[in-house]
């Protein structure tokens, strides 16, 4: 058995006890973590099933991202839907994982920047966002037709 230099014996590192990625300071990517799961390894062993799975993940992820992009200007969770679609795609595709990291960094930077601003700047950004959403809603309702159930007092420039 080897010595640590302090006189204490050091057990050799066996294959059963290798340092984890987090202990090494290395961050395993989402795609790598999913690929390491038992069910994903079994699926990857069958090439036709693996290609089919990746195709389905790509199609569903693209559909979720597209739906999110369409709903961004409307009230609701547009950006959250886009990020959820990117997360789904990132489980299988490297480009989606890079795009998700890019998005995460920029959303964090925007949030931190806005948090450092004075109250009037935050209120102005909130009002500008609300005005944009209202404008998009008016345009959409005029393009599709204002439903009869909308009361006349709602300012939609009929």
Give tens-digit pLDDT for 117-138: 899 999 999 999 888 888 887 7
Distance CA 127, CA 60 (A): 34
Exposed / middle / buried, residue 88 (Cβ in 10 Å: 0-12, 13-18, 19+) = buried
What does the pLDDT read at residue 54?
86
Residue 124 has a pLDDT of 94
Contact 4, 11 (CB under 8 A): no
Whole-prediction pTM:
0.61
Domain segments of the chain as ranges: 27-116, 118-158
Taken in order 49, 55, 59, 64, the sign of the CA dihedral is positive
- Any idea how long the chain is? 158
Average pLDDT of span 67-79:
81
State the pLDDT at residue 6.
53
At 154 the pLDDT is: 66
């Amino acid at each position: 058995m080897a010595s640590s230099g302090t006189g204490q014996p050091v057990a050799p590192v066996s294959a059963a006890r290798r340092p984890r990625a987090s202990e090494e300071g290395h961050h395993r990517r989402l795609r790598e973590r999913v690929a390491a799961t038992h069910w994903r390894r079994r699926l990857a062993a069958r090439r036709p099933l693996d290609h089919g799975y990746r195709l389905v993940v790509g199609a569903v992820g693209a559909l979720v991202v597209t739906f999110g992009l369409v709903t961004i200007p409307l009230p609701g969770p547009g950006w959250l839907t886009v990020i959820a679609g990117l997360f789904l795609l990132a489980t299988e595709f490297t480009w989606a994982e890079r795009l998700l990291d890019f998005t995460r960094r920029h959303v964090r930077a925007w949030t931190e920047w806005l948090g450092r601003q004075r109250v009037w700047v935050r209120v102005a950004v909130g009002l500008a966002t609300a005005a944009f959403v209202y404008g998009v809603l008016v345009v959409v309702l005029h393009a599709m037709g204002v439903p009869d159930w909308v009361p006349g007092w709602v300012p939609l420039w009929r």
